[in-house]
Amino acid sequence: MLLILTLIFASIGYVLFNYHKTRQKLLKIKSHFDGPESHYFWGTMPMFVGKSIPDIFDMVTGLHNIHGEDIVILAAFNELVLDLSSSKNVEKVLLAKSIRKSFAYDFMEPWLGTGLLISTGEKWFRRRKIITPTFHFKVLENFLDVFNKEADILVTKLERHAGKGEFDIYDYVTLYALDSICETSMGVQVHAQDDPNNEYAVAVKQMSTFILRRVFSVLRSFPSLFFLYPYAKEQKQVIMKLHNFTNSVIDSRRKLLEQEKSTSKVIFDLDEENMYSKRKMTFLDLLLNVTVDGKPLSREDIREEVDTFMFEGHDTTTSGISFTLWHLAKYQDVQQKLYEEINRVLGKDKTNAKLTNVEIQELEYLDMVVKESLRLIPPVPIIGRTLLEDMEMNGTTIPAGTTISIKIYNIHRNPKIWPDPERFDPERFSKTNESKRGPYDYIPFSAGPRNCIGQRYAMMELKVTLIKLLAKYNVLPGESMHKMRFKTDLVIRPDDGIPIKLALREP
């Protein structure tokens, strides 16, 4: 018994000795940065205990106001996290070849698999190459038909609120974006705008919450213990709903394409230069017809890419559209100037007009307004990476395995780059002012080789929506707008909706 006890205490002592030794190394790294104090075992976790999601967002972004651009955080159990908001170090990380997405993305894998967002190495390279043609400008122009149609439906749905009290615009935009992404990516119409309780949209919100709760859990470093979480069973059921929806669409679309091919109604030639103008190909069509090493993609391969595209293509655009409307409601002078540009370029009779890409590109002030809104409220305010090799920063070596948290929200508020950063000023994006900034001072769609592949899609949808809405309505601030707070799970959202009012414009 004495021998057993001696071995137990020796083992505990050895573990504690190594823990303390590691901590001293981390404290030495921290001396090259600033950052909050941390508990010996629990790290900074006590800061977040009992806090609401909006509180947590305010805390993690507010740390940079206290400790500077680049911060070292020692999380629970000696986990080193480097919070970056300086363009110099952000550039190093985003251009590095030996990195992967951080642990938070692992929590998305049960839902999204290892699609383009999460995959690494050769798989990521091949998938990126396969998917890139989907965002060819000719394909995007075909998507304009969908954006025009769905935006017209949104305008009609909002008529019930014209001249009345405040309401939440965010839910309306969510359903509009879901309709748009389903039709452009999968070629199916789900009519979400006619169904406020759309099962898919609700399930995506639930998954986003589950993932955020894991990120701020003390057990996050022990994924094998996920079954202990009270919502583990519920998450499994939600994922099953999401996968069943995508699988059913894949199977029905595959059957339709096989029927079309058998009757020679459609011929796919993925090497043909003018393939984009021959048929309105969807993202799903491309995946169903591509081969890798002579073999077609499996249903699971296709599903993980479609699920990724569905999530990124409706949740992020919803955020971008909704918060731009929020800014236009707050800044009536900007809205008026934008409305006048729409009138001047498109003419008075534009409410029901089918917008073209040429017309959209002529609206320079619209581009500036959208960019300024994405500066202040980037749809994905925080992105994460993990170093696979050591990296030098601030005169010290950051070891492989370190989690890097890139605060896009804070990068866009750096007063050295953006004077009076909280002020909404579209003129920051005039051609003269844009040329004064570096490429990593403004990254609403990330940057480097793993930047957002769908950014042109998002910008086009965002602009069509704004033009259609502003042509019909004057967007006004709701009485409770000043109470709105931000929260973030996978994207930035309002804590309790975006309250606006609408007034019909004179014909």
CA-based R_g, the chain, Å: 24
Q: Which two tokens stand for residue 33?
A: 């940065």
Query: Torsion-angle region of residue 347: left (phi > 0), alpha (psi -120 to 50) or beta?
Result: left
CB 448 within 8 A of CB 320: no
Q: What is the largest CA-CA distance in the chain?
A: 92
Please give, one letter per residue, the 3-state secondary structure of 173-198. Answer: HHHHHHHHHHHHHHCCCCCHHHCCCC
Give the CATH H-level superfamily of domain 53-474. Answer: Cytochrome P450 (1.10.630.10)
Block residue for tokens 């894949």: 250
Q: Which two tokens stand for residue 207?
A: 């998954």
The SS3 assignment for 229 reads coil
Distance CA(286)–CA(89), nearest Å, equals 37
Q: How far is CA 40 from CA 20, 33, 83, 163, 218, in A?
A: 9, 18, 20, 58, 14
191-226 per-residue burial string, b: 16 or more CB within 10 A, e: under 16: ebbeeeebebbebbebbbbbbbbbbebbebeeeeeb
pLDDT of 273 reads 44
Q: How far is CA 61 from CA 86, 412, 506, in A?
A: 13, 11, 42
Number of H helices, E strands in the chain: 19, 14
- Mean pLDDT, 10 residues at a time, over the chain (507 residues)? 84 92 94 93 89 91 94 90 95 90 86 87 84 74 90 96 96 93 85 85 84 78 81 92 90 82 60 45 82 83 88 89 98 97 83 82 97 97 93 95 95 95 97 89 92 90 96 96 88 93 91
Distance in Å from the first CA to the final CA of the chain? 92
pLDDT of 277 reads 41
* 72 φ/ψ angles, rounded to the nearest 5 degrees: -100, 130
CA geometry: angle 347, 351, 356, nearest 5 deg = 70
- Describe the crossing of helices 169-186 and 455-472 by its angle, rounded to 10 degrees: 130
Query: Torsion-angle region of residue 167: left (phi > 0), alpha (psi -120 to 50) or beta?
Result: beta
pLDDT of 351 reads 56
Query: Torsion-angle region of residue 49: left (phi > 0), alpha (psi -120 to 50) or beta?
Result: beta
Spans of all domains in the chain: 53-474
Block residue for tokens 């059913």: 248
| Predicted TM-score (pTM) of this structure | 0.89
CB 274 within 8 A of CB 268: no
* 99 φ/ψ angles, rounded to the nearest 5 degrees: -140, 160
The closest of 392, 389, 419, 415 to 401, measured between CA atoms, is 389
Q: Which two tokens stand for residue 15?
A: 């573990």
Alpha carbons within 13 angstroms on the beta-carbon side of residue 332 total 10
Residue type, 104: A
The closest of 177, 242, 236 to 203, measured between CA atoms, is 242
110-146 per-residue burial string, b: 16 or more CB within 10 A, e: under 16: bbbbbbbbbbeeeebeebeebbebbeeeebbebbbeb
Would you tell me how many other CB atoms lie within 10 Å of the CB of residue 499?
22
Alpha carbons within 13 angstroms on the beta-carbon side of residue 255 total 6
Q: Which residues pair with 284 in a beta bridge?
A: none
CB 105 within 8 A of CB 406: no
